[in-house]
Amino acid sequence: MNLTHDEFYNPITQSLAIVQALFDNYQRTKFPERPPEFFSLELCGEAGELANLEKKRWKGKAVPLEALEDEAADVLIALMNYANARGMHLGNAVSAKLVRIEEKRAALEAQGESY
Protein backbone atom coordinates (compact mmCIF):
# COMPACT_ATOMS: atom_id res chain seq x y z
CA MET A 1 0.00 0.00 0.00
CA ASN A 2 1.64 3.22 -1.15
CA LEU A 3 -0.14 6.14 0.43
CA THR A 4 0.98 9.70 -0.01
CA HIS A 5 1.92 11.86 2.94
CA ASP A 6 -1.49 13.56 2.82
CA GLU A 7 -3.32 10.24 2.64
CA PHE A 8 -1.49 8.65 5.58
CA TYR A 9 0.11 11.12 7.98
CA ASN A 10 -2.39 13.98 7.84
CA PRO A 11 -5.40 11.86 8.86
CA ILE A 12 -3.39 10.43 11.77
CA THR A 13 -2.43 13.91 12.94
CA GLN A 14 -5.95 15.27 12.59
CA SER A 15 -7.78 12.29 14.05
CA LEU A 16 -5.53 11.99 17.08
CA ALA A 17 -5.87 15.72 17.72
CA ILE A 18 -9.66 15.36 17.85
CA VAL A 19 -9.55 12.28 20.09
CA GLN A 20 -6.97 13.88 22.37
CA ALA A 21 -9.04 17.05 22.73
CA LEU A 22 -12.11 14.98 23.64
CA PHE A 23 -10.14 13.08 26.29
CA ASP A 24 -8.80 16.35 27.66
CA ASN A 25 -12.27 17.83 27.97
CA TYR A 26 -13.62 14.70 29.65
CA GLN A 27 -10.72 14.49 32.11
CA ARG A 28 -10.89 18.19 33.02
CA THR A 29 -14.65 18.27 33.53
CA LYS A 30 -15.16 14.94 35.32
CA PHE A 31 -12.04 14.30 37.40
CA PRO A 32 -9.73 16.21 39.75
CA GLU A 33 -6.63 17.79 38.24
CA ARG A 34 -3.58 15.58 38.50
CA PRO A 35 0.06 16.18 37.59
CA PRO A 36 1.73 14.55 34.58
CA GLU A 37 3.75 12.32 36.88
CA PHE A 38 0.53 10.72 38.14
CA PHE A 39 -0.50 9.84 34.60
CA SER A 40 2.98 8.57 33.77
CA LEU A 41 2.84 6.18 36.71
CA GLU A 42 -0.72 5.22 35.80
CA LEU A 43 0.41 4.47 32.25
CA CYS A 44 3.20 2.23 33.51
CA GLY A 45 0.78 0.39 35.78
CA GLU A 46 -1.80 -0.15 33.07
CA ALA A 47 0.83 -1.29 30.56
CA GLY A 48 2.08 -3.72 33.21
CA GLU A 49 -1.41 -5.13 33.68
CA LEU A 50 -1.71 -5.66 29.91
CA ALA A 51 1.72 -7.30 29.84
CA ASN A 52 0.74 -9.63 32.68
CA LEU A 53 -2.32 -10.80 30.75
CA GLU A 54 -0.18 -11.42 27.67
CA LYS A 55 2.30 -13.38 29.80
CA LYS A 56 -0.56 -15.56 31.03
CA ARG A 57 -1.67 -16.19 27.44
CA TRP A 58 1.91 -16.94 26.44
CA LYS A 59 2.05 -19.56 29.20
CA GLY A 60 -1.08 -21.16 27.75
CA LYS A 61 -3.67 -19.85 30.18
CA ALA A 62 -7.06 -18.76 28.88
CA VAL A 63 -7.37 -14.99 28.88
CA PRO A 64 -10.44 -13.63 27.11
CA LEU A 65 -9.98 -11.03 24.43
CA GLU A 66 -12.28 -8.74 26.39
CA ALA A 67 -9.76 -8.65 29.25
CA LEU A 68 -6.99 -7.63 26.84
CA GLU A 69 -9.24 -5.00 25.28
CA ASP A 70 -10.08 -3.59 28.69
CA GLU A 71 -6.42 -3.22 29.65
CA ALA A 72 -5.49 -1.83 26.22
CA ALA A 73 -8.22 0.78 26.68
CA ASP A 74 -6.76 1.68 30.08
CA VAL A 75 -3.33 2.13 28.46
CA LEU A 76 -4.75 4.44 25.80
CA ILE A 77 -6.68 6.50 28.34
CA ALA A 78 -3.61 6.86 30.56
CA LEU A 79 -1.49 7.84 27.54
CA MET A 80 -4.00 10.47 26.46
CA ASN A 81 -4.17 11.89 29.97
CA TYR A 82 -0.38 11.95 30.26
CA ALA A 83 0.06 13.68 26.91
CA ASN A 84 -2.59 16.26 27.78
CA ALA A 85 -1.07 16.92 31.20
CA ARG A 86 2.31 17.52 29.51
CA GLY A 87 0.88 19.63 26.68
CA MET A 88 1.98 17.12 24.05
CA HIS A 89 0.31 16.83 20.66
CA LEU A 90 0.25 13.09 20.03
CA GLY A 91 -0.93 13.35 16.43
CA ASN A 92 2.08 15.45 15.49
CA ALA A 93 4.43 13.24 17.50
CA VAL A 94 3.08 10.01 16.01
CA SER A 95 3.21 11.34 12.45
CA ALA A 96 6.78 12.59 12.92
CA LYS A 97 7.82 9.25 14.38
CA LEU A 98 6.20 7.34 11.52
CA VAL A 99 8.13 9.47 9.03
CA ARG A 100 11.40 8.55 10.80
CA ILE A 101 10.41 4.87 10.91
CA GLU A 102 9.58 4.88 7.21
CA GLU A 103 12.87 6.57 6.35
CA LYS A 104 14.79 3.93 8.31
CA ARG A 105 12.69 1.09 6.89
CA ALA A 106 13.27 2.31 3.31
CA ALA A 107 17.01 2.70 3.89
CA LEU A 108 17.25 -0.83 5.27
CA GLU A 109 15.14 -2.20 2.42
CA ALA A 110 17.49 -0.54 -0.08
CA GLN A 111 20.33 -2.49 1.58
CA GLY A 112 18.35 -5.73 1.35
CA GLU A 113 17.55 -5.80 5.07
CA SER A 114 14.32 -5.86 7.04
CA TYR A 115 13.32 -3.34 9.66
Q: 81-93: per-residue pLDDT in tens?
A: 999 999 999 999 9
Largest interatomic CA distance in the chain? 52
- Reported as a single tens digit per residue, the pLDDT across 9-57 is 889 999 999 999 999 999 999 999 999 999 999 999 999 999 999 999 9
CATH for 35-106 is: 1.10.287.1080
pLDDT above 80 (res 112):
yes
Instruction: Check: CB of residue 71 under 8 Å from CB of residue 42.
Output: no
Instruction: Check: CB of residue 100 under 8 Å from CB of residue 9.
Output: no
Give the pLDDT confidence score for residue 8 in this predicted structure: 86
Give the pLDDT confidence score for residue 6 in this predicted structure: 79
**What percent of the chain shows pLDDT beyond 90?**
88
Nearest to 115 by CA among 100, 86, 8: 100
Single-letter code of the amino acid located at 31: F
